[in-house]
Amino acid sequence: MEEKLGAWSLEPGREAWSLEKRIEYQFERLTVWQKGIEFVNRIYHATRTFPQEESFGLTSQLRRAAVSIPVNIAEGRGRLHPKEYIQFLSTARGSLYEALTLIQVSRNLAYLQQHDADELDVFCRDLIGMVNGLIKSVRS
C-alpha cells in the first residue's frame, strides 16, 4: 500500500523525506551564502584556541557575527519584496563589518596568529564585496 503526499510517495518502510529528495531553496544556490557558511566554519575553527575567559566575550561575539551573515542572506531571500531582501543583506553586511573589527581586535590581543587573521580578513573583505554586489543586483 502506497500513500501519496503531494509529489512525494510513502512506501512501506521508507521515509518520505530522504536526503536525496530534500527541497533545495534558492538561497542555497547563492555563492555568497555558501561562502558565508564557509566563513562561519573558519571562524569557529579559529576561535577554538581563544582563552577560556573569552567564551562569553570575544569568542561568542565573533561567532554570532559570523553566523548572522548566512542567516540574514537566507532570511532575506525568503522575503517577498526586494526592499526587505535588501534590508537583510544590509544586516549581513553590517555583521561582516562587525566580524572584520573583531578579527582585528583578536589579532591585537594575539588570540589569532598574524597569518590566520590575515586570511580571515581577506575572506571577510571578499564577502563584503559579494554582498555589495548582490545588493546592487537586487536594486536594479
Q: Which residues touch 37 (CB under 8 Å, ≥6 apart)?
A: 70
Average pLDDT over residues 65-78: 96
**Per-residue model confidence (pLDDT) at position 110:** 96
Average pLDDT over residues 42-66: 96
pLDDT, one tens digit per residue, over 88-121 is 999 999 999 999 999 999 999 999 999 999 999 9
Cell numbers 518520505: residue: 16
Average pLDDT over residues 115-128: 98
23, pLDDT greater than 90: no
129, pLDDT greater than 90: yes
Q: Domain coordinates of the chain in residue numbers?
A: 25-139
Against a cut of 0.85, is the pTM above it?
A: no
128, pLDDT greater than 80: yes
Beta bridge partners of 9: 4
Give the CA count within 13 Å in the CB-facing half-sphere of 87. 8
Average pLDDT over residues 3-10: 40
DSSP of 51-116, one letter per residue? -GGGTTTHHHHHHHHHHHHHHHHHHHHTSSSHHHHHHHHHHHHHHHHHHHHHHHHHHHTTSS-HHH
CA dihedral 55, 35, 83, 102 (to 10 degrees): 30
> Chain-wide mean pLDDT for the chain?
87
Which of 116, 76, 124, 117 lies closest to 97, judged by CA?
124
Architecture of the domain delimited by 25-139: Up-down Bundle (1.20)
